[in-house]
Amino acid sequence: MKISFFTIGSFILGCLLGYAGLIPDGVNLTRITLYVLFVLIVQVGINIGSDSRMAAMIRTMSPKLLLVPLATVVGTFSLSAIAAALFIHRWGIWDCLAASSGFAYYSLSSIMIAEMKEPELGAALAAELGTVALLANVLREVITIGGAPLLKKWFGIYAPICAGGATTMDSTLPSISMACGQGVVFISILHGFLMDLSVPFFVTLFCSL
Amino acid sequence: MIEIFLLMLAGAIGGWLMRRMGFSAKVFTHMTPTICILLFLMGLTVGSDPEIITNLSSLGLEGAILAVAGVLGSAIAAWFVAKWLDNKKPKE
């Protein structure tokens, strides 16, 4: 709980300082963020390498674990469709599912949606739907990073992985491995890889419906 | 994406070597501060983008609904998978 407070608090503090314009000119945030992410990935690697139980864990991995990405797809689309029908009236259900198809991969999904919906909705509305997708997927990533311990506590060991969607092989991997232990690192990477591949497919599918 | 794999591999080899040589890798594996820095930087990016901030009030709620639905839906499905896999385990 304390860790979630600090992580979400860091994000909110960053938002406030960014909004206040306190970033010095010439600072390339994307590049710095990428380097910090690299540090995290190396830390995850050291964790794996220094864990003596890792070899046994790899040997016991089962193909049944492919059910985890399937759960992500089914769960995300089912509840997103229900939520869209109940609470979001400005957009159609397929539009909302296209936004959910980012599975936290916000950069790719929002750009694809804004591009693909332009002929149908016009540039302004398509950009708005792209922004909804951006916010939905950024928030999904932030909720996963900050909420991984709670998700694990409430919904079990695979919940932080499913919540992290396409980001579980990079940005959310450190929080997932912290919350669920080193044993889930391989399924988390496999899950992230498969979900990454699925994003262009599902975005294209729902944009064309 | 390849650099992610290479960095993780390098870290894993480093961690393995440290374990073999009897060093504790603990000092390198405290990830909370790094995660906080990463989220702080993500916040800076979001907060400083005028396009996102201008649209935040009207579009933020829709994004938040879809984010919560996505997380909750997949977490519930994950719960079923965990239960199912648990039941498939041979009983001792």
- Across the range A75-96, mean pLDDT stands at 94
Higher pLDDT, A80 or A44: A80
pLDDT, position B25 = 66
Torsions phi, psi of A56, nearest 5? Answer: -65, -40
- Segment among A42-51, A76-85, A130-139 with least mean pLDDT: A42-51
Quick one: average pLDDT of B3-28? 80
Cβ neighbours of A30 (radius 10 Å): 9
- Number of Cβ atoms within 10 Å of the Cβ of B86: 10
Q: How confident is the model at residue A1 (pLDDT cuts 50, 70, 90)?
A: very low
Helix spans in chain A (H):
2-19, 29-49, 54-59, 67-87, 93-100, 106-116, 118-121, 123-155, 159-164, 173-180, 185-208
- Whole-model pTM: value is 0.72
Cβ pair A169:B63 closer than 8 A: no
**CB-CB neighbors (< 8 A) of A96 in chain B:** 62, 66
A28, two tokens: 């390339």
Predicted local confidence at residue A58, as pLDDT: 63
pLDDT score recorded for residue A168: 92
Question: Does A3 score more than 60 pLDDT?
Answer: no
A62-71, B1-10, B12-21, range with the lowest pLDDT: B1-10
| Chain A residues in contact with B22 (beta carbon < 8 A) | none
As a whole number, the mean pLDDT across chain B is: 81
Q: Is the pLDDT of residue A78 over 60?
A: yes
**Least confident span in A80-89, A174-183, A189-198, B46-55:** B46-55
Q: Helix, strand or coil for residue A181?
A: coil
Q: How many CB atoms lie within 10 A of CB A31?
A: 9
Q: Which of A49, A74, A132 sits opposite B59 (nearest CB)?
A: A132
- The average confidence (pLDDT) of chain A is 85
The ipTM value here is 0.78
Query: Which residues in B lie closer than 8 A to residue A87 (C-beta atoms)?
Result: 65
**Which amino acid is it at A208?**
S
